[in-house]
Amino acid sequence: MIPARIFAASLLLVSLSATAQTGAPATPSAPATAPAQTAPAQTAPSQTAPAPELQPRPAAPDGTVATAPTITTFAREVSQIFTVTDKNGRFVTGLRQQDFGLLDDNRPPERVIKFTQQTNLPLRVGVMMDTSGSIRQRFQFEQDAATEFFLQVLHRGDAAFVMGFDVKTDLAQDYTNSVDLLNQAIHKLRPGGGTAFFDALYTTCRDQMLTLKESNTVRRALIVVSDGHDNQSRAQENDAIKMCQRAETIVYTISTNISPTKDSADEVLRRIADATGGRVFFPNRIEDVANGFHSIEEELRSQYLLQYRPADFRQDGAFRPIYLKAVDQRYTVHTRKGYFAPRPLQ
């Protein structure tokens, strides 16, 4: 159990920091008692250095996005992106810094640098579509829903890619801002074969997300459309989760299992989403897959950004759990459960 006095101290620190930055006194709400801390099946690193330069990967005439050479430096700052919902699952906006309590590795932050509501933070988003034989009859609905998602979510400065997977991954379209190219890629995918889900998730986060170097804060998100079954992977579930955490990537999962009974694969989808700060969606009908995409689109535009400097920080590569809670117990915070500290630059 996290001691209430420590959690209260974190709330006080957050509100004092708000006063220092705005010049106006912040009135802290009464701290809620922190629940028992869970062990990590956790999330992506939010540490880092401003990672340079994909600014936002300049687009070529065909809409594709090219990579630029980068120089990486380290800054001891953590960027925590999160959403808040009420008891009915509706997104809550307009909250203030002092409405939250934060512990990083069981300690209040040394200093809060920035707190804002981020409705237009640039997106780096990928759609991973299960193309194994088990989803053949549902595939058309998934393709149409994914295309509609890109039409709704992509703004100027955003970039997205399409990845298909069965026993191996198929990068059908690399990062681009062109919905036409993304749509063509989605409809080039064809179902068939076994499933190496964990390998695909691990590889996609490593190759498409971890390699991104951004000069500004962006949201990295994966939307995985799958039944969650895996019969071919070398990687384990926990390996895939840890890679998502290292790549600072939120994973949203949309199950294609529409049977009334949920199985162990559905729990896999839930654990991956929970560990990375995303959410899982279980459509009642395959036609409702589009509703999952719509909910994700709404969530990506209803997020908060909290940047802070952690206390007693070490560049040792260790996992640092994060505990972020709304003071008002009617609200639920959706965020990653922690991050891996960087190791010293060589």
Tell me 35's DSSP state.
P
Q: What is the pLDDT of residue 118?
A: 74
Tell me 319's DSSP state.
E
Tell me 234's DSSP state.
S
Q: What is the pLDDT of residue 138?
A: 76
Q: What is the pLDDT of residue 132?
A: 87
Which portions of the chain are predicted below pLDDT 70? 1-75, 119, 345-346
Asked if 241 contacts 211 with a C-beta cutoff of 8 angstroms, the reply is no
Q: Residues 306, 307, 313, CA angle at the centre, nearest 5°?
A: 125
DSSP string, 264-301: HHHHHHHHHHHHHT--EE--SSGGGHHHHHHHHHHHHT
| 3-state DSSP assignment of residue 130 | strand
Residues 6 or more apart whose CB falls under 8 angstroms from that of 5 comprise none
Q: Residues 324, 123, 66, CA angle at the centre, nearest 5°?
A: 135
**CATH 3.40.50.410 residue spans of the chain:** 123-300
Q: What is the pLDDT of residue 52?
A: 32
Order the strands of the 123-130 sheet from edge to edge: 169-176, 159-165, 123-130, 219-226, 250-255, 280-281
Query: What is the CATH number assigned to the segment(s) 123-300?
Result: 3.40.50.410
Residues 6 or more apart whose CB falls under 8 angstroms from that of 78 comprise 46, 47, 104, 109, 307, 308, 309, 310, 339
DSSP string, 170-218: EEEEEEES-HHHHHHHHHH----S---HHHHHHHHIIIIITT---SS--
Element (H, E) at 142: helix 139-153
Q: What is the pLDDT of residues 48-103, one digit of tens each?
A: 333 333 334 444 545 555 544 443 444 578 989 999 999 998 899 899 999 999 99
Q: What is the pLDDT of residue 262?
A: 78
Asked if 313 contacts 341 with a C-beta cutoff of 8 angstroms, the reply is yes
Q: What is the pLDDT of residue 261?
A: 79
